[in-house]
Amino acid sequence: MNALTCLRSFSDPLLGQEARVRHHTLLALASLPTYLASLGMIWHLVHLDELAAPSAWGITLASIVTFLAFWLPVRTGLTQRMKDPVLTFPHALASLGLCIVAYMLLDEHRVNVLVLMAQVIVVAMLRLRPKQVLGLGMLATLMLCGAFAWVDWRDTSVGMLNKGATHLMVGGASLLLLSLVGKWVSDIRTEISEQAKELRKTVLTVRQMATMDQLTGLLNRRVMLETLEAERQLSERHGTQWCLALIDLDHFKQVNDRYGHPTGDAVLRGFADLARKHLRSVDQVGRWGGEEFLVMFPQTRLNEAHASLERLRKALNAWRLPDHPTLQMSFSAGLVQAAPEDSLDQLVERADKTMYQAKASGRNRSVWAPLLTPDLLGSPVPPPALPT
């Protein structure tokens, strides 16, 4: 068993296997050092005979129950649909409550509890919204005031103006100041997060504009050429077969002239949707220009590519625009199989000539060119398909 496998065998039961659950569980575990520090201080005081063991056991049990009560729902994924799957605010509030209990049980060591309360706020502010951070700080201050009042009420030997009042003033002011700083940090974090989202959207938009045809959502001419060149080089290295088809929508100019350019745009988008639906996911479709489209069939023989084109052609024949139900579209396609000696320009030129043969034969059909190397085809070449 290697080190990575050993590490996974340890971390999977603790964090889970699903990525989001692991991430949120790890965030929930960030509170563990505060728990351990608190319990370490408590049991050190027991060791010094400055705190009764039963009180220490009570705080220890309450700490374990509190931690598990918030960690287990996160670890099991029960909180994944919540706005905050880590349960940061209620967990921080419960942790502050434990700190207040410790504050009421201790004496001159209460200043250490204030440090633990500050740690809780610091950890929480990395997840909470700005108003939540400020609210948490105010609640911590109110809880501290309540604990101080309870301690002073029980200890009638001294008045409010004792050294405990210093803890209250310094601690309360520090917690409020820390919450204000936490709100400021949370504001900055939120702003950066929003800017990062906008930046990701902008990058995605720019990437789509650089690679996609804006009207149809298909690959643009530049990216289609890069895709063809990559497939040509792959075929050259491995001896695989691939095909290329050039498609032209029949009488498209008449559609624009009779129905208007918005209808023509709708036809182009409709064809693109049909191509995505009826061609294979591995086939690459790009808008070559105007009403012309280029289709690349990787690792495909002519007869297989022809069958795919025919499915697409029949689907376009049956397709209708809701606003113009009498408008019927068709296309003429020229299909060629790449030969080892073909350059991209030669391959596209052969597909273009074959497409014009389909138009000359009456349109609404797909025609393939004779193979330059007959032994590349697995079955005889049938005559050009007639429309059905």
CB 330 within 8 A of CB 386: no
Low-confidence ranges of the chain (pLDDT < 50): 1, 160, 373-388
Phi-psi region of 364 (alpha: psi -120 to 50; beta: other; left: phi over 0): left
Single pTM value for the model: 0.54
- pLDDT value at residue 3: 61
- pLDDT value at residue 251: 95
* Every domain of the chain and the residues it spans: 3-207, 221-376
| pLDDT tens track for 212-244 | 998 999 999 999 999 999 999 999 888 889 999
Give, in degrees to the nearest 5, the angle at Cα 87 between 85 and 92.
155
Starting at the edge strand that comes first in sequence, how are the strands of the sheet with 292-297 ordered?
284-289, 292-297, 243-249, 331-337, 365-368
Distance of CA 386 to the CA centre of its chain: 46
- pLDDT value at residue 121: 87
Euclidean distance between the first and final Cα of the chain, in Å?
63
Q: Which fold has domain 221-376?
A: Alpha-Beta Plaits (3.30.70)
- pLDDT value at residue 167: 67
| pLDDT tens track for 125-184 | 888 888 888 888 889 888 888 888 887 777 665 554 555 667 677 777 777 888 888 888
- Can you tell me which residue has the tokens 């670890």? 75
Report d(CA 220, CA 106) in Å as an integer. Answer: 72
Nearest by Cα to 99 from 124, 116, 79 = 116
- pLDDT value at residue 190: 82
The radius of gyration computed from the CA coordinates of the chain, to the nearest angstrom, equals 36
